[in-house]
Amino acid sequence: MQSKKHIIIFSHGFGVRKDDVGLFTDIVKAVPEVESILFDYFDVDEKNKILTIRPFSTQVKMLNDVVKKARESDPEATIDLICHSQGTMTAALAKPDGIRKTIFLAPVLDMSIERTLKRYGSDPDSDINLDGISKLRVFDGFLRIVPREYWAERKKIKPFKEYNEFAQKTELIVIEANQDEILSKVDLKDLNSKIKLMSLDGNHGFSGKARKNLIKTVREIIL
């Protein structure tokens, strides 16, 4: 009997592209047994080196559309999600149906705008305007453009509520980064007991030596 098709859909974080600065592409290479689907949430202007952030509502629709298309391509396929950073929040808001397992890597549990203002606000190349267009610093040659709709929607998000509700629809595994330089530690006592919590050494992107161990862990969960 032929085994079911296995698909992994990736949900990337804020201000990056679908490869998630190499994190997702490294995971893809490590799981050749499955079909991997990567896509960009944000508009990428290669010529002018501009990346325009889309509001959460748009990102949610995009993810649900990708899941729907994957399901239509093979109704019997096993579909999993791997999400990183703010991409975990998009998945939790989307709550797509029919997802077997979902892995949250270095998830965002504090959606406060103050955290982002602290990170970008002191940079001379950044111009944050919550009621208009924000321009965030360039660290890879791209300028980030953030519309006011993004900030307005972000203000209303309650991470624990969304994660707990999503855990009712999928087997949810949260992997924290022990040396996360982007996100501060948050008390997880209010997370749904159905959510499996793990922690691994590594920075926010699990770069360097930490990536090998992360990939090993992801393979053990997914395969």
Residue 34 included in any domain: yes
The domain containing residue 198 runs over which residues?
Answer: 6-42+55-109+159-222
Using the predicted structure, report yes or no on whether residue 194 has a pLDDT greater than 60: yes
Percent of the chain with pLDDT over 70: 99
Residue 145 included in any domain: no
pTM: 0.96
Average pLDDT over residues 116-120: 81
CA-nearest of 118, 125, 221 to 175 is: 221
Average pLDDT over residues 33-39: 97
Helix (H, G, I), strand (E, B) or coil at 161: helix
Residue 100 included in any domain: yes
Residue 95 included in any domain: yes
pLDDT at residue number 188:
92
Q: How far apart are CA 82 and CA 8, in angstroms?
A: 7
Using the predicted structure, report yes or no on whether residue 120 has a pLDDT greater than 90: no
Residue 171 included in any domain: yes
Using the predicted structure, report yes or no on whether residue 207 has a pLDDT greater than 70: yes
Residue 47 included in any domain: no
pLDDT at residue number 126:
87
Residue 192 included in any domain: yes
The CA–CA distances, whole Å, from 111 to 6, 63, 156 equal 32, 20, 9
Q: How far apart are CA 196 and CA 198, in angstroms?
A: 7
- Model confidence over 75-103: pLDDT tens digits? 999 999 999 999 999 999 999 999 999 99
Dihedral sign of CA atoms 168, 190, 105, 88 in order: positive
Count how many domains the chain has. Answer: 1
Chain mean position to CA 202: 17
Residue 105 included in any domain: yes
- Model confidence over 57-77: pLDDT tens digits? 999 999 999 999 999 999 999
CATH number at residue 29: 3.40.50.1820
Chain mean position to CA 55: 14
The residue type of 193 is S
Q: Rounded mean pLDDT of the chain?
A: 95
